[in-house]
Amino acid sequence: MTDDQPGTDREKVVSKLPQELRQRLKVRAAELGIDIQDAATDGVTRWLEHEAPLLAVDTAGAENWATWLPTGLYGRLKDKATERGLPYVQGVAQAVTLWLDLHSPTKTSPSGAPPRPTDPSSVPERKVFVNQKGGVGKTAVSAGVAQALAEEGKRVLVVDYDPQGHLTKQLGIPPLPVGGDSLLKHMIGEATGKIADLLVPVAGDRFGGRLLVLPACQDAFLLDVRLGPIRANERALERALKPLEDDIDVTIIDGPPSLGLGVDAALYYSRRRSGERHGVSGVVIPVEAEDSSADAFEMLTNQIAALDEDFGAQIEYLGIVVNKYDARRGYVATSSLELWQNLGEPRVVGVIPDLREQREAVRVKRPLLDYAPNCKQANVLRDIAKEIS
């Protein structure tokens, strides 16, 4: 529906738009000092000129949304949407999404002009394993998925982002010494060497040198404190790891049991970038089949929602992994598993049984998929890797 704006060459357009897109458009336009109607005009114009197919936008629950566009522009959008076989609402949603992608905080050049969308083939998939509750098996799950992806032939980087260094120690790799270069030093701009020099390949023919670890360093206990004064600290991890991206297919982040600034940076790093397909980069949440995991889950989802609102980050949930499951523990375990499976979104992408092989692999400091490649846990981890890629 349209209606002319007196004294101007604009007409009022009433369409529908998901609440999440409306909020992000409002916030980002305000940050850039741009009128929403000008942002919408730019988005529709770019959408009309965009020849390549764009990703579909979920418009379920879209609500009425009004703006002013140059006279005739909405008619051109409707005609083009018909030509492309799209509902008008989908055309509007794609136009707004395109504008947001081109004007995201990390895609504005020094001149202020939005650069071209990122080629999705030029960046690795980014999967952050996170839960502020300790002891749920983030390290076992993240390391196992990384091993499964390396088995498939992908070049995988595993970042031990936890200052306790469980992943580093479990693979028999020495932690980085305090005082030397570390991930923290690269994140705050105080490193003296190249971050690539810190990487350690995991031994074994099974992974063919394709599985690399960025070891932990105890200086990461100060990560939140050191990140506080850093400008745009939500992008600190992305800046640190960017020099590695051309040589990596998948980056796995083994997160700490925390909800601080460091986790903000990891979550922001996992956001879906312009042109990247859905379901390959985002957050994996390891949990246990018990009640305290549900409380921690709610805190994490609130943090992700806040990041999305503050920075317009498109952080996707890749799934929930129920770890260390044992039905013999009775009603609490079985009913909790049922609750996770009935959650809907994010979906459960794997249930890992509590078996001895993982504990044995840790004891001998070997990757599980190398120590017991045919065990049930290893096969479930391979299935999870396929589900989130």
Do the bridges between strand 200-201 and strand 211-214 make them parallel or antiparallel, or are there none, so unpaired? Answer: antiparallel
Packed helices 73-83 and 36-49: angle between N→C axes, nearest 10 degrees: 40
Residue 126's pLDDT band (boundaries 50, 70, 90)?
Answer: very high
Secondary structure tally for the chain: helices H, strands E: 15, 11
**pLDDT above 80 for 116:** no
Share of the chain above pLDDT 90, in %: 54
Q: ∠ CA(294), CA(295), CA(298), 5° rounding? A: 85
Average pLDDT of the residues of the chain: 87
pLDDT score of 114 more than 60: no
Beta strand 10-17 pairing with 63-70: antiparallel
Per-residue pLDDT band at 75 (split at 50, 70, 90): very high
Does the pLDDT value for residue 4 go beyond 60?
Answer: no
Mean pLDDT within 87-108: 82
Alpha-carbon distance 122 to 111, whole Å? 23
Kindly report the number of other CB atoms within 10 A of residue 83's CB atom.
8
Q: What is the pLDDT of residues 162-174, one digit of tens each?
A: 999 999 999 999 9
Coil/strand/helix, residue 335:
helix
Cα distance between residue 256 and residue 86, in whole Å: 43
Buried b (16+ CB within 10 A) or exposed e, 27-42: bbbeeeebebbebbbb
pLDDT at 199 over 70: yes
Q: How many Cβ atoms from other residues are within 10 Å of residue 203's Cβ?
A: 15
Strands 211-214 and 317-325 come out as unpaired
pLDDT in the model for residue 259:
82
Say how many C-beta atoms besides its own lie within 10 A of residue 122's C-beta: 10
Q: What is the pLDDT of residues 215-251, one digit of tens each?
A: 999 999 999 999 999 888 999 999 999 999 989 999 9
* pLDDT at residue 76 in the model: 94
pLDDT in tens, 308-347: 888 878 899 999 999 888 788 787 788 878 888 787 788 9
CA 332 from chain center: how many Å?
Answer: 31
Q: Please name the residue ranges forming H helices in the chain.
A: 19-32, 36-49, 73-83, 88-102, 138-151, 166-170, 183-187, 223-227, 236-241, 261-269, 291-311, 331-341, 356-363, 368-371, 376-387
Instruction: Indicate if the pLDDT at residue 101 is higher than 50.
Output: yes
- pLDDT bin (cut points 50, 70, 90) of residue 1 is very low
Radius of gyration of the chain (CA): 23
Distance CA 145, CA 364 (A): 19
The one-letter amino acid code at 268 reads Y
Q: Specify the pLDDT at position 212.
A: 96
Total residue length of the chain: 389
Residues 20-47 have pLDDT tens digits of 888 889 888 887 888 889 999 999 999 9
7: left (phi over 0), alpha (psi -120 to 50) or beta: left
Nearest residue to 76 via CA among 8, 19, 11: 11
In this prediction, residue 108 carries a pLDDT of 39
Q: pLDDT, tens digit, for every residue of 178-193?
A: 999 999 999 999 999 9
Contact 12, 66 (CB under 8 A): yes
Domains in the chain: ranges and CATH: 2-102 (1.10.1220), 122-387 (3.40.50.300)
> Residues 133-159: what's their mean pLDDT?
92
Q: pLDDT digits over 251-291, tens only?
A: 999 998 888 899 999 999 999 887 888 889 999 999 887 76
Q: What is the pLDDT, as a whole number, of residue 8?
A: 55
**pLDDT given at position 105:** 64
> Which of 39-43, 63-67, 114-118, 192-196 shows the lowest per-residue confidence on average (mean pLDDT)?
114-118
Q: Give the closest residue to 333 by CA, choosing from 285, 288, 378, 278.
A: 288
Q: 285-315, pLDDT tens digit by residue?
A: 998 877 666 777 888 888 888 888 888 788 9
